[in-house]
Chains A and B, each alone.
Chain A
Amino acid sequence: MTYSEAFVKLEELVAQLEEGDIQLNKLTAKVKQANELIAICEGKLRTIETEVNEVAKSATARKKKKNE
């Protein structure tokens, strides 16, 4: 599942929670599902952030090397 897919599902769940659309007896399952989606999103986001920082660092390093 991609970050976007996970986050869209999470947004749907959050909207349901905010609207009070979820039956109380289904609430635990929904909360569990939401937490799983949050974990997926956090994992993907952390990976993306690390990769972007590495790309930015290598671009800066190339420029520095060229100037030396």
Chain B
Amino acid sequence: MAKYWARANRIVRFQINRMPEQIKLSDLLEQIQDTIQTSFEGETYWISAKITNVKKYETNRRCYLTFEEYEGGVKTAEIRAVFWANYYSEIEKFEKITKQQFKNGIEIICKVKVRFHKVYGLNLDVVQIDLAHTLGTIELERQQTLERLLKENPTTIQLFDGVYRTLNNRLPLPLVVKNIALITAPNSDGQRDFIQEITKNKHGYTFSVKEFLTTIQGDTAHKLILDQLHLIEKSNEDFDVVAIVRGGGSQTDFKPFEDYELSKCVANFPIPIFTGIGHDRNQSIVDLMAREQKTPTKVASLFVEHNFEFENRLIELKTMFFDLVSEQIQNAKDDLDNAKRIVKLSSPQAILNRGFAIVTSNNKIVTDPKNIKENSEIQTLLRDEIIFSTVTKKDKNGKGIDL
């Protein structure tokens, strides 16, 4: 037994003597940190990458994300990144100006600093986003979509003097808008604004509004809106117009309304479409294909005013009609009065009243003096008396009625 322990102690001593030299992990990472700092301290770099794993913390004003790069579908680079509180405003600026959400999958160009932390590892601190690049990309995509719409739908989408004329936005409106199909997000400001304006309109008009509720924002919004349009088209209800509205905090997500398929469907839709998707400065492609009114309230107000214009035209027509009828009745009265006057003046009694006489012979009115011979008996009717006479002489009346 003593032999055994002596041998074991020899082996342990041998192994301890043979252990490699070691340093602490923190020492190593500090060396890495120093090396990185030496190389990258104070330097900033513009990079182009796709963003993923975006986690925004609005209350802390921080955003964590991952930058990725792909070549031929294969990921070639990846690194974690962060917007610290003092640069969080870059995200807000991005969303406000580009009308796009800062979300997974988009490509951005941004300025970064390299930072290494012994606990948190290697990171890029984002200090600026190149908005011009993003805007340029959006504009390029937009132009490509518009060109495709024109090219692939030549009979229903045309461009005249910078204005898009589509089958839909040229459809005549009915004289009175009554039945409305409303596409909007449930419990949204847009829905509330539209319904309030339409139901509490100052003229007291009543409308029938059927709601087609769906998500208006996000990656699949364009498909969901398309689904609602198909439902409306297949519906047995006779809609006069379609209103697509959104409002409130939806300023950032403009993208669904730039989608080719949705824009094409709107341009070719058989019922007039009005958009009020809550943005003041820019027009989406869907706006261009339909009739744009900027806000939900403005769309509703347009329907009310359209009906008010019709009512005014009706009142004008009614006034004009009754004026014409009155004029016609007055003309008839005047014509009748004129006829009465002529008839009255023509009566035999009126003739006698005016001092004329009627000559009769053998109880017949003498209209032709040739029928009266000399020595014949005639009667002269005056207003109050009859004079009986015998004709002694006849002569031509050379004076006419010049008495």
A residues sitting closer than 8 Å to B (CB atoms) are 3, 7, 10-11, 13-14, 17-18, 22-25, 27-28, 30-31, 34-35, 38, 41-42, 45, 48-49, 52, 56, 59, 63, 66-67
The contact string, 1 if C-beta is below 8 Å from chain A, for chain B 13-38, is 00000000000000000000000000
Residues of B with C-beta under 8 A to A49: 329
Residues of A with C-beta under 8 A to B339: 10-11, 14, 34, 38
A27 and B346 in contact, given A38-B339, A52-B329 (Cβ under 8 angstroms): yes
Q: How far is the CB of A4 from chain B (nearest CB, A)?
A: 10
> Besides A23-B367, A38-B336, 4 other CB < 8 A contacts?
A25-B365, A34-B346, A48-B329, A67-B204
List 10 A–B pairs whose Cβ atoms lie within 8 Å, in order of A's numbering: A10-B339, A28-B347, A31-B347, A31-B348, A34-B339, A42-B336, A45-B332, A45-B333, A52-B322, A59-B318
The contact string, 1 if C-beta is below 8 Å from chain A, for chain B 295-333, is 000000000000000000001001000100110010011
B residues sitting closer than 8 Å to A (CB atoms) are 204, 315, 318, 322, 325-326, 329, 332-333, 335-336, 338-340, 342-343, 346-348, 358, 364-365, 367
How long is the Cα–Cα vector from A2 to B346 in the complex, in angstroms? 25
Residues of A with C-beta under 8 A to B365: 23-25
How long is the Cα–Cα vector from A14 to B365 in the complex, in angstroms? 21
> Does A66 lie within 8 Å of B204, measured CB to CB?
yes
- The 4 tightest CB contacts between A and B, nearest first, are A34-B343, A17-B346, A25-B365, A31-B347
A31 and B346 in contact, given A23-B367, A45-B329, A56-B322 (Cβ under 8 angstroms): yes
What number of A-B contacts does a CB cutoff of 8 Å give?
A: 62
> Secondary structure of the A side of the interface?
helix
A13 and B347 in contact, given A38-B336, A66-B204 (Cβ under 8 angstroms): no
Q: How far is the CB of A37 from chain B (nearest CB, A)?
A: 8
